[in-house]
Amino acid sequence: MRSDAIKKGLGRAPHRSLLKAMGYTNEEISRPLIGIGHAQNEIIPGHIHLDKILEAVKTGVRMAGGTPISFGTIGVCDGIAMNHMGMKYSLASREVIADSVEIMAQAHPFDALVLIPNCDKVTPGMLMAMLRVNIPAIMVSGGPMLTGRFQGKDVHLVSVFEGVGRVKANTMTPEELDELEDAACPGCGSCAGMFTANSMNCLTEAIGLGLPGNGTIPAVSAARIRLAKQAGMKVMELLEKNIMPRDIATKEAFENAMAVDMALGCSTNTVLHVPAIAHEAGVDLTLDLFNKVSEKAPHLCSLIPGGPHSLQQLNEAGGVPAVMNELLKLESCLHSDVITATGKTLGENLKGKDSRDSEIIRPTDNPYHRQGGIAVLYGNLAPDGAVVKQSAVADEMLTHAGPARIFDSEEAAQSAILGGKINPGDVIVIRYCGPKGGPGMPEMLSPTSAIIGMGLGKSVALITDGRFSGGTQGACLGHISPEAAVGGPIALVKEGDKISINIPEKEIRLEVDEDELEQRRKMWQPREANITTGYVARYARQVTSGSTGAVLKEE
């Protein structure tokens, strides 16, 4: 066993002594040592209950003959970090999470790992580490939050963000917003809706590194505790069979996950995280592949925020297995022979997993959209690509052209939107917010929610070299690459320039003569970094483009 390096032989008496200092017995030390990485803390609603998931995983490991040993990682709540300095640290935290799990797993040679994340950067960060370390491992998330209820409707965190704009537009009173604030987030779990956290937890299941139900069983459900116990038992089986994460996370498995991404209408952040995770597995996923998969995999589920249905309803309808079973009916849409964390192939897992509700999970011959939920656009404004959640765009905004309204920060754009300075037809440009320029590629949930709240969602587009929350809806194009901080074309746009967006044709253009752009390019000067010390300053120096998953340079 891998852990023999710290427990076998005469020379390891000091190591055993340290283990015994914590109360471990000889019997426990002789068993496989299973590292359980978790992100429990008291600042993230999705993590507040992970201590209970941890105890359930420990129970499962012990039931199957292993010795569980837990350790913690950091986590950032994107909602709390939104629209202030904290958002510069959010995406950057993914790399720290991956590094910390790697450090713990290598410094203390566990025989296998169970990783317990929830929320936006923790799930991809832990998956990156899992594939980097490549010992038998499985992931079990904390599960999604239930929706709240307000004035007879389902509500969630984004409802509150949009409520700020509604108060400004005089379509909601401050007193109603207070009431909504109390109702929108009713308890623990990753925020209700197909936002980034739930997107990544569903895609973990689709890749095959989590058990069926990982993405959709509610956080408060007893089934979530049972799933955690099953994960603890299953990792012992993976250890016995010597099944490694990279045996599961093949290119075919990632293509399966991308198909599920399209069918569910997941967050655009998946276009950052899935390639970054694949990078750790030695699998190259280009942005073009997302469009190719989108052409094959239709949009089958209309989930919050772009649609009416919740994660709880998706779970009741059969969850990710039922979605994959529908996709399996399409030729060349899924690879059914890949191995999964169950120890069985995907095809074996999906037998009998039919949809229980044809409106929540539509059949492939009656999808919500013929193409998948995400599109990658190209053009002279985004030579390396831009990403949009096309399933959450109103039909009248699928094509749009209008004058550019230029803002070099999220705060300036937010002030203009709430101040009534944005007109129907405008294209808001928020730049110098990319991986380097942000730094950290901050999310734009506040301005996009303000656009919706102010009643501009069907008349105004927003583009940025930053990124969007999974809670974003509307004609919002992110990850514009190259970013402004490295002199990308978005840095050359001037107030009033015409920008044309054609989502069906996958095109975004700046309608300015190339000679004029060349003159602007010669005049452009790099900006000074807005943070020069500390972690995010180092991150800004090492991070690559959003088009490559914003992974760090390998020196």
* DSSP 8-class letter at 354: -
Q: What type of residue sits at position 107?
A: A
Q: Please list, in sequence order, all residues whose beta carbon lies within 8 angstroms of the beta carbon of residue 379, skipping any fewer than 6 positions away.
A: 507, 508, 509, 510
C-alpha 431: how far from its chain's center?
Answer: 22
Cα distance between residue 472 and residue 389, in whole Å: 8
Name residue 374's amino acid: I
CA 534 to each of CA 63, 71, 204, 302: distance values in angstroms, whole numbers, following the listed order = 44, 25, 32, 42
Nearest CA among 448, 447, 478, 450 for reference residue 465: 478
Q: How many CB atoms lie within 10 A of CB 352?
A: 7
Whole-number pLDDT of residue 535 = 96
As a whole number of angstroms, the distance between CA 174 and CA 156 comes to 17
Strand partners, 369: 299
CA angle 310, 318, 335 (to 5 degrees): 115
Name the CA dihedral angle for 291, 488, 269, 104, rounded to a multiple of 10 degrees.
Answer: 120
Neighbouring CB atoms inside 10 A of 509's CB total: 18
- Two tokens at 384? 């390396």
Rounded Cα–Cα distance for residues 183 and 224 (Å): 23
What the block records as the tokens of 304 is: 């919050």
Flag residues of the chain having pLDDT under 70. 555
- Tell the residue number behind the tokens 């996950």, with chain if given: 257
According to DSSP, residue 338 is labeled: -
User: How far does the chain reach from its first CA to its final CA, in angstroms?
Assistant: 33
| Torsion sign across C-alpha atoms 59, 64, 68, 72 | negative
Residue with tokens 């970013």: 483
Q: In this structure, what DSSP letter does residue 68 have?
A: E
pLDDT in the model for residue 472: 82
Active site residue 469: yes
- Give me the pLDDT at residue 555, please: 66
| Sole residue written with tokens 């209408």 | 265
Q: Which of 199, 267, 469, 481 is catalytic?
A: 469
- SS3 (DSSP) at 329: coil
Quick one: tokens of 367?
Answer: 């999808």
In angstroms, the CA 438 to CA 90 distance is: 11
Beta pairing class for 507-510 and 498-502: antiparallel
Kindly state the helix (H) or strand (E) to which residue 386 belongs, with its residue range: strand 382-388
- C-alpha to C-alpha distance for 27 and 507, rounded to whole angstroms: 63
Q: Which two tokens stand for residue 61?
A: 């490991």
Amino acid symbol at 522: K
Claim: this prediction has a pTM higher than 0.85: yes
DSSP codes joined into one string, 182-196: HHS--SSSBPSSSSH
**Spatial contact of 294 and 371, defined as CB atoms under 8 Å apart:** yes
Q: Which two tokens stand for residue 318?
A: 């059969």
Residue 148 β-bridge partners? 155
pLDDT of residue 503: 97
What's the pLDDT tens digit per position in 281-326?
999 999 999 999 999 999 999 999 989 999 999 999 999 999 999 9
- Considering only the C-alpha atoms of the chain, give the largest distance between any 2 of them, rounded to a whole number of Å: 76
Tokens matching residue 261? 């991404």
Q: Which residue shows structure tokens 């929350």?
A: 469
Q: Report in angstroms the alpha-carbon separations of 80 from 86, 419, 433.
A: 8, 23, 19
Question: Cβ neighbours of residue 182 under 8 Å, at least 6 residues apart?
Answer: none
> Which residues contact residue 300 at a Cβ distance below 8 angstroms, ignoring those fewer than 6 apart?
263, 264, 323, 326, 327, 361, 362, 363, 364, 367, 368
> Which pLDDT score is estimated for 51?
98
Q: Which residue has the tokens 């998931």?
A: 53
Distance in angstroms (rounded) separating the CA atoms of residues 315 and 531: 43
Instruction: Quote the tokens at residue 104.
Output: 């713990």
The pLDDT value recorded for residue 14 is: 97
